[in-house]
Amino acid sequence: MAQPAAQKISVSRLIEEKKQKKKRWNADKVIPILLLATATISMLTTIGIVLTLLFETFEFFTRVPIVEFFTSSKWYPFSAADPSYGIMPLIAGTLKVTGIATLVAVPVGLATAVYLSEYANDKARKIIKPILEVLAGVPTIVYGFFALTFVTPVLKHLFPSLEVFNALSPGTVIGIMITPMIASLSEDAMSSVPKSMREGAYALGATRLETTFKVVLPAAVSGIMASIVLALSRSIGETMIVSVAAGATPSMGWDVTSSIQTMTSYIVQVSTGDAGYGTTIYYSIYAVGMTLFICTLAMNLLAQFISRKFREEY
């Protein structure tokens, strides 16, 4: 039986359209190539950064003994008579600021996460969440001037001996800055705990507070610890707040009311033109940068280890 002419034309048209499509680029083949290229660029960029740090740091250690760099308690690179390159004062300043930030951010961040996850209603959550997001999006230079012009004068009423540049003010503000990270990630970890675990605790007669601290927090401990470690890693690498409000005085003491200098603020100081290219001071910023890179890398690896080690499967 002969096919209608219209059907023959339709089949011919479909065949022709299929041939034309074959000539066009296949998106399923092109997109993976583009994604691979993007991933390769990211990987090569990381390798380039690490190699740059390694080569320039090696050049620095040809001029300054590595033992002196990591053991000396004197950091006077700009001394014309007897320069000293002991990084311990910079590490001490960084740890002081980070320790203060931890004391501020961890209690506030965890309390906020507990409230958002276990106590807040939808209306309160819609108000608090955007505020946390705004805090996370404030430029760090703004935080720096906030620490210098507002927080320091306020703290000076409590600590009359507080200097204009000190460790307490930037440490407090860095704690405020990393609080949203701890609160958000911890809240996500607590929200992922199954509702059935809470209902089981309630069925056994536990109160909401007991359920929160004896059931939910232990179950979400991997995510909470990982959020804290990542936040601390962020505080160690903070630059502008300490550059504006902490000062530029390397110090090994425990006094948080006087001027200090961190690893990042020293890099900023030298990068703004205090040292010429090819000098020992110039290469010192790469050695400090490599030390900072190793510290933050170790913190990130620790966060991943904690997340895997204590992760609960539901």
Domain ranges of the chain: 5-62, 84-309
Exposure string of 250-274, with b = 16+ CB inside 10 Å and e = fewer, is bbeeeebebbbbbbbbbbbbbeeee
Measured CA to CA, the distance from residue 67 to residue 70 in angstroms comes to 5
Smallest Cα–Cα separation from 286: which of 48, 55, 57? 57
pLDDT band per the 50, 70, 90 thresholds, residue 17: low
Rounded distance between C-alpha atoms, residue 270 and residue 264, angstroms: 10
Return the minimum-mean-pLDDT range out of 30-44, 46-60, 263-277: 263-277
**Residue 220 contacts residue 113 (beta carbons within 8 Å):** no
d(CA 186, CA 112): 9
pLDDT for res 111: 92
As a whole number, mean pLDDT of residues 19-46 equals: 76
pLDDT in tens, 189-242: 888 888 888 888 888 888 888 888 888 888 888 888 888 988 988 888 888 899
Homologous superfamily (CATH) for 84-309: MetI-like (1.10.3720.10)
**DSSP alpha helices (H): ranges in the chain?**
5-23, 27-61, 66-71, 88-114, 122-137, 140-146, 152-158, 168-191, 195-203, 208-211, 217-219, 221-236, 240-245, 263-269, 280-309
Tell me the pLDDT band of 107, cut-offs 50, 70 and 90.
very high
pLDDT of residue 150: 92
Query: Which range among 5-14, 105-114, 191-200, 299-308 shows the weakest confidence by mean pLDDT?
Result: 5-14
pLDDT band per the 50, 70, 90 thresholds, residue 20: low
